[in-house]
Amino acid sequence: MSDAGELDALLHEDRRFPPPGVFTGQANCNDPEIYDRAAGDPEAYWSGWASELDWFEPWHTVLDWKPPHAKWFVGGKINVAHNCLDRHVEAGRGDRTALIWEGEPGDTRTFSYAELHREVSQFSNALRGLGVEKGDRVTIYLPMIPEAAVAMLACTRIGAIHSVVFGGFSPDSLADRNNDAESKVLITADGGWRRGSVVPLKANADVALEQSPTVTNVVVVARGGDLTDHTPVTMKEGRDHWYHDLMAESSSDCPAVQMDAEDTLFILYTSGTTGKPKGVVHTTGGYLTQTYATTKTVFDLKDDDVYWCTADVGWITGHSYIVYGPLANCAQVVMYEGAPDTPDRGRFWQLCEKYGVTIFYTAPTAIRAFMRWGEEWPGKADLSSLRLLGTVGEPINPEAWMWYHEVIGGERCPIVDTWWQTETGAIMISPLPGLTVTKPGTATRALPGIEAAIRDEAGNDTAAGYLAITTPWPSMLRTVWGDEERFKETYWSKWRNVYFPGDGAKVDEDGYLWILGRVDDVLNVAGHRIGTMEVESALVDHPSVVESAVVGKAHEIKGESIAAFVTLKEDIDGSDELMSELRNHVGMKIGAIAKPEMVVFTAELPKTRSGKIMRRLLRDIAEGRTIGDTTTLADPAVVKKLQAMHEGDEG
């Protein structure tokens, strides 16, 4: 969380940006009454959105709320792929562009809604051919290629539950997720391009598969282009199948199964406060309703928009705002495989110009990197097609907001700062671009139909404390896969019947919410969520390490970076080599995103007399701050030594 001074500065932000005239006139949401109307009858509000979707059978009850269990649109039968594809094709919109994909090397592919529908149906049949049935789990470990969306939609078409694993995760992380979900099938690719080199996904998957006994079939997409020259792939007879071979023998006739509104749609693993990531469970009808509605209202999506969200499908943003929300709205969606600085730092802006992107959604960490790279890069491209900008993933500092507004948005595009989480499934707190006066740095207020508050430990309203969501919402997580206790404990034990997201927040004089960051042991590194305990377990897994404590350290671009304090075995000396070995060890155990930026060797960790590691203190040390109260320390000398050591490190 930001310190007090920084916070005061934030809350005195007095720049205000009313919706531009063109927005108030034509926005999908331009009636300010919408908030009160939704608050007066949230069930009517949400069922209004749900009825814009195609249901095989209508629901009989909008909401069945037995805290902490919500059921939405009870009794309704629906299929997500049908709503994202068939519905549009049947309405005569089959020729409309669904996906515009560009690979990092510059290769391109596009799919019309009819083509995507055919591809998905065919792949659904291919999965069926491998024995996948309704309710079975399928792991998807793919680069950002169209087949990622195809695979997700193919699962939903036949009622299989997908678990997408970000392609940057290590074989160990992939295996853990395969095993927790007991996945039957894994879908991967020979590789994908990232910053000019190939990520060898199949080779990683092979390692993971040695420890994934439930996976009996593997589908491998040939990424295409000249990638095959870079990554030799070994196919295991009887287990591994090329995607194109399966497709060649599969029919494109595959009626969508009727799913119960509350059938599980997908599992997505996210980091929590223990060493083990949790499988967040989302269901069908409510999730689709809220992603559909928020895409339309928050992004003001219109028929002629070209929409680009830069997230990876491995994260919830990619699920909700590349695939399900936009396709349910029949949007024209841009999807890009690679890095923003390949072949040069102007790549994103070239893409915006080339495809005439009108709505652009990215993360503050990316915006800060663009700022650092300089205005000349966006300056080389024509960005006049842009009309709306969005951010997500972490608090955006006002300076980055202003830069985004001026340099990318040409001072004409509203910015929607959208707060939500893997668990919420869809956007919860955000401006509505035709209605909300925005201020740099705040996600403003809860969307219509959502109730957010700031509560203290005891559950009383307060101006600064914990963010709380006080009423159920359609796309809320239903449980943690295989761990109902953890679901209750993590989200529902702080207050009675009120959801605890794990963020700190403040409210200002306009009633706007300022999200201050996590209050638990979860880090937000470049918009990616990483549990300190996960990194600690990876470190102690190394033979030289006895104990470790991991904290977040403020980082100019990433928001937070990882600092690790490590105690070594008695006969082992901390060297620079060991430092990089430990960093790589974490990379190997979890994935490159979790590598600590700073490693400090210490003979002891500062602990309270009851043995609790004093993380606050370690954070102070990592950030070079003066140390606060240490009277609860079991051994105050430890801190002196640590500080001396760290200062020594920094030269």
Q: Are 546 and 540 in contact (CB under 8 A)?
A: yes
Confirm or reject binding of residue 420 to ligand WT7 (CB under 6 A): yes
For residue 79 the two structure tokens come to 């299929």
Region of 202-210, 238-246, 295-303, 417-425 interacting with ligand WT7 (CB under 6 A): 417-425
Calpha distance 257→136 (Å, rounded): 14
- Work out which of 515, 545, 563, 578 binds ligand WT7, going by CB under 6 A: 515
Q: Are 190 and 232 in contact (CB under 8 A)?
A: no
Confirm or reject binding of residue 270 to ligand WT7 (CB under 6 A): yes
The neighbour count for residue 244, using CB atoms within 10 Å, is: 11
Confirm or reject binding of residue 502 to ligand WT7 (CB under 6 A): yes
Calpha distance 168→63 (Å, rounded): 38
Confirm or reject binding of residue 499 to ligand WT7 (CB under 6 A): no
Region of 323-331, 420-428, 452-460, 593-601 interacting with ligand WT7 (CB under 6 A): 420-428
Cα separations in angstroms, 633 against 533, 630, 637: 21, 5, 9
CB of 431 to ligand WT7, least distance (A): 11
Q: Which residues of 358-377 are buried (b: 16+ CB within 10 A; e: fewer)?
A: bbbbbbbbbbbbbbeeeeeb
Nearest Cα residue to 38 out of 28, 48, 51, 30:
48
Applying CB under 6 A, the site for ligand WT7 has a residue count of: 22
- Work out which of 148, 164, 392, 415 binds ligand WT7, going by CB under 6 A: 392
CB of 611 to ligand WT7, least distance (A): 28
Calpha distance 271→552 (Å, rounded): 14
- Work out which of 145, 246, 316, 530 binds ligand WT7, going by CB under 6 A: 316
For residue 386 the two structure tokens come to 């842009």
Written in H, E and C, the secondary structure of 182-212 is CCCEEEEECCEEECCEEECHHHHHHHHHCCC
Considering only residues 438-477, where is the footprint of ligand WT7 by CB under 6 A? 443
* Separation of CA 152 from chain center: 16
Region of 39-47, 125-133, 162-170, 387-395 interacting with ligand WT7 (CB under 6 A): 387-395
Confirm or reject binding of residue 402 to ligand WT7 (CB under 6 A): no
Binding mask 519-558 for ligand WT7 (x = CB under 6 A): -----x----x-----------------------------
Angle at 476 between CA 99 and CA 144, to 5 degrees: 25
- Closer CB to ligand WT7, 233 or 522, in the complex: 522
CB of 535 to ligand WT7, least distance (A): 15
- Taking the CA atoms of 336, 342, 343 and 346 in sequence, report the sign of the dihedral they define: positive
Considering only residues 613-642, where is the footprint of ligand WT7 by CB under 6 A? none
Region of 76-84, 113-121, 186-194, 497-505 interacting with ligand WT7 (CB under 6 A): 497-505
Region of 74-82, 212-220, 515-523, 593-601 interacting with ligand WT7 (CB under 6 A): 515-523
Region of 41-49, 198-206, 299-307, 495-503 interacting with ligand WT7 (CB under 6 A): 495-503
- Closer CB to ligand WT7, 278 or 646, in the complex: 278
- Residue reference for tokens 């196919």: 235
Q: Following CA atoms 550, 552, 556, 558 in sequence, which dihedral angle do they give, to the nearest 10 degrees?
A: 80
CB of 509 to ligand WT7, least distance (A): 19
Q: Which residues of this chain interact with ligand WT7, rule CB under 6 A?
A: 270, 316-317, 392-395, 417-422, 443, 501-503, 515, 517-518, 524, 529
